Chains A and B, each alone.
Chain A
Amino acid sequence: MSQTVEKNPTATIAELQKISSQVRRDIVRMVHGCQSGHPGGSLGCTDFLVALYFYILNHQSDFKMKGEGEDMFFLSNGHISPLWYSVLARSGYFPIHELATFRKLDSRLQGHPATEENLPGIRIASGSLGQGLSVGIGAALSKKLSKDTSKIFVLMGDGELQEGQIWEAAMYAAHNEVDNLIATVDYNGQQIDGPVDEIMSLKNIKAKWEAFGWDVVECNGNDFESLLPALDEAIARSGNGKPILNIMTTEMGYGVDFMVGTHKWHGIPPNDEQLSLALGQLEETLGDY
């Protein structure tokens, strides 16, 4: 029997780990089910999205596009959609069985997140990289204008920082003191063609964002002991005139030993044998869809 789980700001790390395990199972099953999609980054960011939706965000699974009085999350690196869909379903935004339709014809669960089919939880399309930070800043400005003190959260990939629009947005947010915004970079060091350092290095990523005028926190995104305090710290530092960047080190493919730490699993699905190997490493805690 599959389950959804309510947000619980007092959740223990053990409880969050259980949810992560199930979400990781969902991810590998979804990409296996359609033989398409992006397991690597999805597995790497699982703990982060679980922390957001089950611990950090003030949100309602009874979805309202406008999100008045709610924190909002924007996924800029839209290709890790299986992760987001699983977390949304497990939080009660839509039925868990719908995860089985991922990337299939007539599904609301498009390859990359989209609003056209009104999938609850999605406020904007993403997939073409570099756009989500701007959108998040716009939403943050809108919150400020309506005196809504909720926060905006954005997730970006590290390879995605090669897109110029990110730096337009970074400059804008600092200049205009958009301090109700907490952006996270998934710093896994990998992109499609290989390690980010080989393709086009980000060099000193922390110094770059600080030079742009952002307040930077750092954490290990695959360790709740590091991740949760960092997110709490980011929230504590918000409202002080600077946008906040969370540089979150993760391992692509985390949780499945043969997928860890390589760009090779960025965008390919496991075969039947690989699926059962992967599922053998991920405990079924909330019931498969």
Chain B
Amino acid sequence: MELKLTNLTKTYGQKTALSGFTYTFREGIYGILGANGAGKSTMMNLITDNVVRTDGEITYEGTDILKLGAAFRKVLGYMPQQQGLYEGMTAESFVAYFGRLKGIGGKDLKGELDRVFELTNLSDVRHHRISSFSGGMKQRVLLAQAMLGDPKVLILDEPTAGLDPKERVRLRNYIYNLSRNRIVLLATHIVSDIEAIAGDIILLKEGRLVRSGSPKELIGSIPEDVKPLMGGYYTLDDVYLHYLGDELAEADHA
């Protein structure tokens, strides 16, 4: 399984949101780290074909995803950053609707609904209206719809925003268990979300790939003259600050 992004570029007028991004994703979890406006969501939108690419190519198993069309979207699970929901629907209606949109019907749908609500810990409130949910619960509803149909490519844009620590850990564990035989792209600016589970981390800044590698490789790439944040050892937070947080890092060094 391979999702390949080649020279992917997106510009909005004069502003370049993503510039010449090239990367090949295989089975596993990929953490995409970057500050707000670094190009994470743009990359997600390009992969889900919600934004017209300016240049470059995205292929899945060697074929451009635009050519694959619905066949690619059939293996895709997407959880966007913004909470776009039909607030008047119940959680079950909403997820059932997306089940239909993913081509799941009949008894399969019922089983799938039970499964995703169980996974996202929403079984007790599945018949409640979404408008009565907290931000974290809405996030879980979005996650539930993304999990439908056992997607081979799972794109999660800020999935833990609004979740309490218990839910974050639960979600992290779930994503980790999911990572076998599928590609999981997890965009975030919260380092701890991906530190323990991501096989590879991609650092984005101003639309460009700054660095990528396993957490160990990235930590190892920090020059020795940089003082660790926590004192004794380097963490991914040091990596983040070193590569993406210029001002803060400079202030620390001073």
A and B bind: no
Interface set of A (CB-CB < 8 Å, partner B)? none
Interface set of B (CB-CB < 8 Å, partner A)? none
